[in-house]
Amino acid sequence: MRVVLAPMDGVLDHFMRDLLTKIGGYDLCVTEFVRVVDQIISDRAFLRYCPELTNVSAYGCTTEAGTPVRVQLLGQTPNCMADNAAKVIELGSYGVDVNFGCPSKMVNKNRGGAILLKDPENLYQIISAIKKSVPEDAIVSAKIRLGYEDKSLAIENAQAIEAAGANELTVHARTKVEGYKPPAHWQWIAKIKQNINIPVIANGDIFTLDDAQKCREVSGCTDIMVGRGALMLPNLALVIKQIAPVKPWHEVRALLLDYSEYETYGAKSKYYPNRIKQWLKYLKLQYTEADELFQEIRTLKTAETIRALL
């Protein structure tokens, strides 16, 4: 079984990837999406999303803990996506992932993300152009939702992605319109899986060991991807693999302090105060103590004051 750490724009950045993969259990990380419009993205911009590109071995780039990292691209123009895909592979990304699930109004208005799920031919063109532009052994993956307004094209979309030569497919088991409203329709992942031959990674609402087991059973997938759950429970991947029990609160609290180490890189930023509050909002869904701590930290504005409190 592989447990993949999901891309989460504005949440799962390289600091969080570093911290969570050091705890362990993750087999792959996917970066926040990098928006491709009509230009080649600069090296500097790619490195901002994926500093792990400076840590490249023969097998591609990894976090410090050794977990491979794959850059995710979001865009709609096949040629431009292909040129940027070739570039990230050259920079050392462990494959390239394509985002066909982003629900953002702005992104969709410009014909990127989930809106592309209305047009299987367009998905085909994008993946096919990327596949032609990268070395044969480079992994090209895609991430989809079940559709835009409805699920009528779910299987056709997956088949188009497979026919274009993608190596694997992650399915977030909801339509764009369903947003994040529970439940995730894991049985739809099974329908997709039955109609294609490439590996399918199941995603959506896996927050506990029990969820992971049920999702794998219902979807028929071996591999899963976790996003919000990884923030609610920092050792979720180890829990799912039954290597460790749920981390006790005092250890999570210590992690919050470890996380402040990363602030030193971004000296004048509000990175840590903002991100710690964001993280506590996820943690409180698993630990009641996190809610109490959030109330204490809510009004603190600097890394120093938060560190002192912790």
Ligand X SMILES: Cc1cc2nc3c(=O)[nH]c(=O)nc-3n(C[C@H](O)[C@H](O)[C@H](O)COP(=O)(O)O)c2cc1C
Residue choice 62, 67, 72, 77 for contact with ligand X (CB under 6 A): 72
CB of 58 to ligand X, least distance (A): 27
**Residue 86 contacts residue 60 (beta carbons within 8 Å):** no
Give dist(CA 85, CA 193) in Å, integer.
26
Which of 6-14, 78-86, 237-245, 247-255 is the region at the interface with ligand X (rule: CB under 6 A)? 6-14
Give dist(CA 86, CA 296) in Å, integer.
47
Residue choice 178, 205, 211, 263 for contact with ligand X (CB under 6 A): 205
Task: Compose the 29-68 pattern: x for residues touching ligand X by CB under 6 A, - for all others.
Answer: ---xx-----------------------------------
Which of 53-61, 214-222, 224-232, 297-305 is the region at the interface with ligand X (rule: CB under 6 A)? 224-232
Give dist(CA 105, CA 98) in Å, integer.
18
Phi, psi for 251 (deg, rounded to 5): -75, -35
Binding status of residue 17 toward ligand X by CB under 6 A: no
**Residue 132 contacts residue 124 (beta carbons within 8 Å):** no
Task: Between 57 and 222, name the residue whose CB sits nearer to ligand X.
Answer: 222
Catalytic residue list: 102
Positions in 153-172 near ligand X (CB under 6 A): 172
**Residue 166 contacts residue 203 (beta carbons within 8 Å):** no
DSSP string, 136-182: TTS-EEEEEEEESSSSTTHHHHHHHHHHTT-SEEEEEEEESTTTTPS
Binding status of residue 286 toward ligand X by CB under 6 A: no
Residue type, 125: Q
Binding status of residue 95 toward ligand X by CB under 6 A: no
Please give the structure tokens belonging to residue 238. Answer: 């180890």
Binding site for ligand X (CB under 6 A): 6-11, 32-33, 72, 99, 101-102, 143, 172, 203-206, 226-229
